[in-house]
Amino acid sequence: MPITRRHMLSATAGSMLLPSVSWGRVLGANERLNMAVIGTGGMGTGHLRGMVNDKAKENIDVLGVCDVYRRRLNEAQRIAKLDDTAAVIEYERILDNPDIDAVLIATPDHWHCKMAIEAMEAGKDVYVEKPLSHTIEQALACRDAVKRTGRVLQVGPQGTSDGRFWAARHAIADGRIGPVTWSQGAYCRNSRGGQFNWHIHPGCGPQNATDSDNYVDWDRWLGHEHGLAPKIPWNEDHFFRFRKYLAYNGGLATDLMYHRLAPLLLAIEGHDGAYPRRVVASGGRYLEKDERDIPDTFFMMADYPSEHTVVLSSVMTNDDTWPYVIRGRHATMEFGGGIDMHQQRPWEKEFKAANADILGDDTSTCSMPSVSRRSHRDNFFDAVRNGDTLACNVDLGCATMVAIKMGVDAWAQDKVLRWDPVKEVVVAS
Ligand SMILES: NC(=O)c1ccc[n+]([C@@H]2O[C@H](COP(=O)([O-])OP(=O)(O)OC[C@H]3O[C@@H](n4cnc5c(N)ncnc54)[C@H](O)[C@@H]3O)[C@@H](O)[C@H]2O)c1
């Protein structure tokens, strides 16, 4: 049998040349990319269907699926048309399969980094859903693991693949709106039944036979043996509605604000993002007073060392939202089909000079088109295959996570939090 790159192991002389702890194959530009999905709930199943549909177009295949809930695992197996050995409850079996090149992780947040780090150490590339992690320590460890292993890792906020933010990045770097001082983003909803009170399948849980559709490996979902979450008895509200509980995520901040902050940081700071200097937060559980411990109305502000502030709001009790806006000394940037820039009158001269190439008859305002980009997932395939620039690399994903988690903790602890960039720890005051 010819030795293919797929079968290369780290214990060869070549291992000296690569940073990987161990590596999978190096994929040729025309070779098929073999994926697996870990966590086939709402988002993972969406990704799975997308990849199955795009098999031929993207030259990919799905060789494995994994979930601790038998019903979802069975459904994923059907969608991907896999045999029983390729549909597993234990994610380690996916990582042990040398034919799988990359994994897409769409479990609840508290598992993201453990799985991502182990996958990279097993020589696989990783697409990990947002937010990058549950804790700051996990995010930093994952960032360091990417550097150590040399693997490709895309974090999942798909807004970073929105070409308007890449156009904004160029415009800001070119000085078209002057120095940025503040920006805003929001993600708001309203519902009668209580936000995140999603459907519960009755009768599920670890008490069922392991081959029953209703079986859940609850210990594996919690991950308490790895210190990922506290050990508690089976709780269907926690299982089906994990976003309501700080034990597994940061509520609105990690579920929704992360989507807003990552593109803003991309546009303002560049594609590696930046760590905040100080974070404050406010809000409360004003109306949704069920068993949840997350706020229903949440605001945070993050100050950055490059001297701008990001203001974020996420409100589940009123869905009148704010658009994205980035404010510079010379102009304000708004996001429509492309980006629109409106001058600040005292800085008219500077605005005209910086935008002379695109000004029309009305010289107080101008627009730039969006940049055309492939989808977030396809960008990951391109990065694995051709080394293309990732839309949300681990640096941007980690920097976003640090600010977002500081927001969660500032609210929960009722404190102002600062980031120590040397020790990479949060300091409370
Ligand atoms: N990018 C986006 O727009 C977007 C949208 C929705 C969700 N997400 C993210 O995707 C992730 C999943 O969200 P969801 O709504 O799909 O949740 P979900 O509860 O519907 O799905 C998560 C699945 O992971 C499984 N799981 C949990 N622990 C596991 C383990 N140890 N091994 C294998 N499987 C395990 C669960 O059984 C469940 O089926 C979250 O982190 C969320 O933030 C992103």
- The residue type at 151: R
Distance 238 CA to ligand 1 centre (A): 12
Smallest Cα–Cα separation from 108: which of 190, 196, 6, 1?
196
What b/e string do you get for 130-163 counting C-beta neighbours within 10 Å, with b at 16 or more?
Answer: bbbbbbbebbbbbbebbeebebbbbbbbbbbbbb
Contact of 344 with 351, CB cutoff 8 Å: yes
Name the residue with the closest Cα to ligand 1, atom 6.
43
Q: Which residue has the tokens 């002057």?
A: 178
Distance 40 CA to ligand 1 centre (A): 7
> What is the 8-class DSSP label of residue 215?
B
Please name the helix (run of DSSP H) or strand (run of DSSP E) that holds residue 104, with its range, or none.
strand 102-105
Distance 313 CA to ligand 1 centre (A): 23
Distance 42 CA to ligand 1 centre (A): 7
Q: By three-state DSSP, how is residue 133 classified?
A: coil
Distance 339 CA to ligand 1 centre (A): 33
In terms of phi and psi (left: phi > 0; alpha: psi -120 to 50; beta: otherwise), the region of 30 is alpha
Task: Give the nearest ligand 1 atom to 66 CA.
Answer: 33
| Phi/psi at 414 (5° precision) | 60, 45
Name the residue with the closest Cα to ligand 1, atom 38.
41
The DSSP-derived string for 279-320 is EEEEEE--S--SS--S-SEEEEEEEETTTEEEEEEEESB---
What b/e string do you get for 7-37 counting C-beta neighbours within 10 Å, with b at 16 or more?
Answer: ebeeeeeeeeeeebbbbbbebeeeeebbbbb
Helices marked H in 150-257: 163-173, 218-222, 236-240, 252
Helices marked H in 150-296: 163-173, 218-222, 236-240, 252, 258-269
In terms of DSSP bridges, do strands 102-105 and 125-128 run parallel, antiparallel, or are they unpaired? parallel
Ligand 1 pocket test, pick from 107, 199, 236 with the greatest ligand atom count within 8 Å of Cβ, gives 107
Task: Give the nearest ligand 1 atom to 69 CA.
Answer: 37
Smallest Cα–Cα separation from 355: which of 346, 365, 345?
365
Distance 154 CA to ligand 1 centre (A): 16
Interatomic CA distance for residues 272 and 402, integer angstroms: 13
Whether omega before 131 lies within 30 degrees of 0, making that bond cis, reads: yes
Smallest Cα–Cα separation from 324: which of 239, 259, 385?
259
- The residue type at 318: N
* C-alpha to C-alpha distances, 80 to 61, 64, 177, 316, 404, nearest whole angstrom: 9, 8, 48, 35, 35
How much is the pLDDT for 267? 98
How much is the pLDDT for 29? 73
Contact of 171 with 340, CB cutoff 8 Å: no
How crowded is residue 319: how many other Cβ atoms within 10 Å of its Cβ? 12
Task: Give the nearest ligand 1 atom to 43 CA.
Answer: 16
Ligand 1 pocket test, pick from 65, 67, 314, 405 with the greatest ligand atom count within 8 Å of Cβ, gives 67
Task: Name beta bridge partners: 340.
Answer: 334, 367
Distance 303 CA to ligand 1 centre (A): 31
Give the pTM.
Answer: 0.95
Q: What is the pLDDT along the chain (429 residues), one digit of tens a residue?
A: 333 333 333 333 333 344 444 456 667 778 899 999 999 999 999 999 999 999 999 999 999 999 999 999 999 999 999 999 999 999 999 999 999 999 999 999 999 999 999 999 999 999 999 999 999 999 999 999 999 999 999 999 999 999 999 999 999 999 999 999 999 999 999 999 999 999 999 999 999 999 999 999 999 999 999 999 999 999 999 999 999 999 999 999 999 999 999 999 999 999 999 999 999 999 999 999 999 999 999 999 999 999 999 999 999 999 999 999 999 999 999 999 999 999 999 999 999 999 999 999 999 999 999 999 999 999 999 999 999 999 999 999 999 999 999 999 999 999 999 999 999 999 998
Distance 106 CA to ligand 1 centre (A): 4
CA angle 258, 260, 265 (to 5 degrees): 90
* C-alpha to C-alpha distances, 77 to 38, 73, 82, nearest whole angstrom: 12, 6, 5
- Ligand 1 surroundings by CB, under 6 angstroms: 38-44, 66-69, 72, 91, 106-109, 111, 129-130, 156, 158, 220-221, 255
What domains lie within the chain, and their CATH numbers? 160-194+249-373+394-428 (3.30.360.10)
Distance 403 CA to ligand 1 centre (A): 22
How much is the pLDDT for 27? 75
Give the HSE-up count for residue 192: Cα atoms under 13 Å, Cβ half-sphere: 0
Name the residue with the closest Cα to ligand 1, atom 15.
42
